[in-house]
Amino acid sequence: MRRKDRTGKRFGKLVALKISKKTTPGNIWWQCRCDCGNIKEIRSGALSGTKSCGCSKLKNNLSGMKIGRWKVLENRIIKYKVSYWECKCECGNVKYVSGSSLKSSKSTSCGCSNIDHFFFRTPNIINSYIAGFIAADGNLDKRGRVRISLAKKDRKFLKKIAKVLSAEHLFREVSKAAHLEMYSKNMNSDLINNFNINPRKTYNLKPPNGLKNDMTIAYLAGYIDGDGCITNYKNILGKTSIRISGTYEILSFFKDFLEEELETKLAKLYYEKRTKNNYMLFIGGRKTIMLYKKVIEVVPENLIMNRKWSKLNMYLEDER
């Protein structure tokens, strides 16, 4: 039997575009575009009885409405018979929200209205530590997003950071990872202006701007928690060691600061040839313990990542 060509034909609000990949022998499906913009796949035999993607059943068209901080855009999708509208928050974040959540005002923003947007405005011990962590293991983008993703084993630590930022409601656990994603242009610009953390920081991270010594120690502790490795077994560096990776600029800054703060010399930076502008800084032996003492003097112990630093506790006890 010859297949009917329905390309370009209209069925109510639907226009048939092309045969869908869902098509099987004896069961033809067409990809159709609805006047509302939604794309839907419909079986050939059901086309004549289908008038829309489902949007015509919607009692209220929410497009263009202002609900809380949301501005409802025109695009809409239907998933499992539930309508989701594309919405843009005042902070710039765009996401799909169910129509029922919008109508009942259950959802009035992407969650940005509750976070501390000015947390990084004035540098201090706490925000310097978190900025260091973001510099090592976080992500910024031009839309104003600040994102941290960690392995599930560190979910409690990330939840602690979320609480400090008043962003517990944005903490998510997915599969084997934990995520914290915030949209805040103020937070983003303060991280750039005060701590020199830019998008694409992997290859161009620069030192923070004019931090006091105690804040620099906090920033360094956060950086080590984000992208450092602490060992407590004997190796070429001694019984304990800390390894940090990063750009030449940031590691040179750490090296110069530590040599002055600890009144000692550190080994030269090691260039990691496999990656552009990626170097390693090694701190070993008693210098590790000296740095740890500085860290716990400055940064609250309930904030740092215990999984890493607790390896050094036994050496502090020996000294006592």
More confident residue, 281 or 319: 281
Cβ atoms of 312 and 292 within 8 Å: the answer is yes
**pLDDT tens digits along 240-284:** 889 999 999 999 999 999 999 999 899 889 887 677 778 999 998
Give residue 320's pLDDT: 47
**Angle CA(242)–CA(243)–CA(244) in degrees, nearest 5?**
120
* Max mean pLDDT range (124-128, 207-211, 297-301): 124-128
**pLDDT tens digits along 133-157:** 999 999 998 878 899 999 999 999 9
More confident residue, 54 or 223: 223
Where exactly are the structural domains of the chain? 10-56, 58-110, 125-319
Give residue 21's pLDDT: 83
DSSP 271-310: E-TTSTT-EEEEEETHHHHHHHHHHHHHS-TTTS-HHHHG
**pLDDT tens digits along 284-312:** 888 988 999 999 999 998 899 988 888 88
Give residue 127's pLDDT: 95
Give residue 60's pLDDT: 63
Cβ atoms of 38 and 78 within 8 Å: the answer is yes
Which runs of consecutive H residues, i.e. helices, occur in the chain?
99-103, 125-137, 155-164, 185-195, 213-227, 248-261, 286-298, 306-309, 313-319
Q: What is the mean pLDDT of the chain?
A: 86
For residue 59, is pLDDT > 60?
no
Cα dihedral 292/294/300/304 (nearest 10): -30
Pick the CATH number of 125-319 from 3.40.50.300, 3.40.50.12280, 3.10.28.10, 3.90.180.10: 3.10.28.10
